[in-house]
Structure 1
Amino acid sequence: MRVFLLDNYDSFTYNLVHQLAHVGADVTVVRNDEITVDEVQALSPDAIVISPGPSRPEGAGISVELIRELGPSVPTLGVCLGHQAIGVAYGASVVRVPPVHGKAWPIHHAQGGSFAALPSPFDAARYHSLAIERASLPPELEVTAWSDDGQVMGVRHRSHPVEGVQFHPESILTDDGATLLASWLSSITPSAREQGSDTGRRSGGRSRPS
């Protein structure tokens, strides 16, 4: 699977690249100010990953624009800053929270999608002082994971193939990070997406309330 990874100048970007390659992705990496959305689209990636980084989503190059323009059609995963960019792209607010840097933290989740093969809770690395404000989430984004200090740790769009995680699956501090990435890749194959669409049609498109 051809994955385009937008690098938001994070020092651990290549840990994420290596983890994705380990679970079967062919990854192309370009920094967030060295490519346009049209150029990404011309690459015809099977999926997009928006990397972590040191800035706010609004200052992360084409991150937000890329999600808005290609998210409806190209499966997209946001990690940390990339997760926050998903929130901003769909109208949520990103706010300051008590910083958590380099700590393993229990992550609770709804056990579907990319989390299906993971226990709840599992430990994952958190490196952030910003988070999506839960109260500002639009109806189209559902919470898929959360921490016991009340922060949103995962979101998924209800109709677009877009999801994000606030924690770092590529970190050595994260249990089963490779399993999560492998599950995400499996869930976005054409056959899996078609099966999901059929299930949504049979159920009237309803999903778990956040």
Structure 2
Amino acid sequence: MLGYLVLSTGDVFEGTLFGNLEACQGELVFNTGMSGYQEVLTDPSYSGQIVTFTYPLIGNYGVNQIDHESVRPACKGLVVGELCQQPSHYLSQHGLAEMAAKYDLGGITGIDTRTVTQIIREQGLVFGKITTDPTDQPEITPVTGQVELVSTKSKVHYPGSGSHVALIDFGYKKSILDSLLARGCAVTVFPYDVTLKEIMEIQPNGILLSNGPGDPKEMIPHLPELKKIIEAYPTLGICLGHQVTALIYGCDTARLPYGHRGANHPVKNTQTGKVYITSQNHGYMVKEESVNKNVLNISYINVNDKSVEGIAHRELPISTVQFHPEAHPGPSDSDFIFDQFIEQCQSIGEKTYA
């Protein structure tokens, strides 16, 4: 069916609709990965957004039941240059178009995604609508309240014989959980608004603040309780968890011009100078000038734009990364960060700082 991608900039692109044929809208973002479209679409950090894939051919290896990062996609839709209708892979169970239809995602193919990406890079915040009507304009409304939407509603426990990690869910990827379970950890997943009292009931060895969607400043009402939690146990923050930790210690966050979304972002360890290629998905950053160097060290920086990619508390076992050490999709260069976190949990045991 003939359809259109209508942008808040006034640009209109004609293409072919697939998936849910009813109109969908949201913030328009782009991902530069050459593969991993299934993981991207099921990553809760994309909640409320329409994802444009810059790689020209999408869907060529189909969709399986292994690589989902959550139970169902959280994004609103997807924009592709060419949609593969006959995927080929031994694990493939169905095509991307079938996945979009199953989960009510809006999709459009035959789009010049390079031009769409250039518009986002030049304009910054762009909203889009996938529709059958080229005059149907998208709402220019910030996407809010997504963490509450994607976070677990009650705690869930996964057994293990090693350190017990409390994973605070802002919209966590399954690969983060898998990375902990693969190392023998027991993991209890908590809602984003968990209290220290609830955490202490399970006597964890460490805390992991997960990734998630939206503006980190939406979490400001929860910072006092989160501060109590992370100061009581060794803590690792990933992506939104990194930004929330920074806000707890007085840092400021700001929107990036067009975000970091892809599997090829270089970051440098500020102590060793070693560079890692990382997977990233975020639209906000911690402002370097707001970091209190008496409390926090900047542990990683982005090689391309020099933005803050990690912080570490100078006294407490609290560290964060803006990138995704679990990858999926992306390189596993920084997978060792989970090992470092678990070593902290094991060395401290059940001792707390509260």
Say whether residues 1:120 and 2:278 are aligned partners: no
Report the Cα offset of residue 47 of structure 1: 0.1
Report if aligned partners of 1:36, 1:62 keep a CA contact under 8 Å in 2: no
Task: Map 1:157-196; keep pairs closer than 5 Å.
Answer: 157-172=313-328, 173-190=330-347
**Kept after mapping to 1: 8 A contact 2:205/2:348:** no
The one-letter amino acid of 1:168's match is: H
135-144 or 183-192: which moved more? Answer: 183-192
Matched with 2:165 is 3
TM-score normalized by structure 1? 0.79
- Among all aligned residue pairs of Structure 1 and Structure 2, give the percentage whose two residues are the same amino acid: 27
Contact 1:3 1:49 in 2 (8 A): yes
Q: CA deviation at 1:97?
A: 1.2
Work out whether residues 206 and 235 of structure 2, in 8 Å CA contact, stay in contact via their aligned partners in 1: yes
C-alpha contact 1:109 1:120 (8 A) present in aligned 2: yes
Please, which of 173, 177, 180 is the counterpart of residue 17 of structure 1?
177
Write 1 or 2 for the structure with the bigger share of helix.
1
Higher RCO, Cα 8 Å, sep 6+? 1
Q: Which moved more, 1:134-143 or 1:55-64?
A: 55-64
Q: Which runs of 4+ in 1 moved over 4 A?
A: none
User: 2:223 corresponds to which residue?
Assistant: 64
Which of 195, 208, 233 is the matching residue for 1:74?
A: 233
Letter in 2 for 1:133: K
- Note the aligned Cα RMSD (angstroms): 2.3
| Gaps in structure 2 of 5+ consecutive residues | 1-162
After superposition, the Cα gap between the structure-2 partners of 1:61 and 1:170, relative to the gap in structure 1 and judged at 3 Å, is farther
Q: Give the aligned residue type for 1:145.
A: Y
> 1:37-116 alignment to 2 at 5 Å?
37-60=196-219, 64-98=223-257, 99-111=259-271
The TM-score normalised by the length of structure 2 is 0.48
| Distance in 2 (alpha carbons) for counterparts of 1:66 and 1:171 | 29
Structure 1, unpaired ranges of 5+: 113-118, 195-210
User: 2:311 is matched with which residue?
Assistant: 155
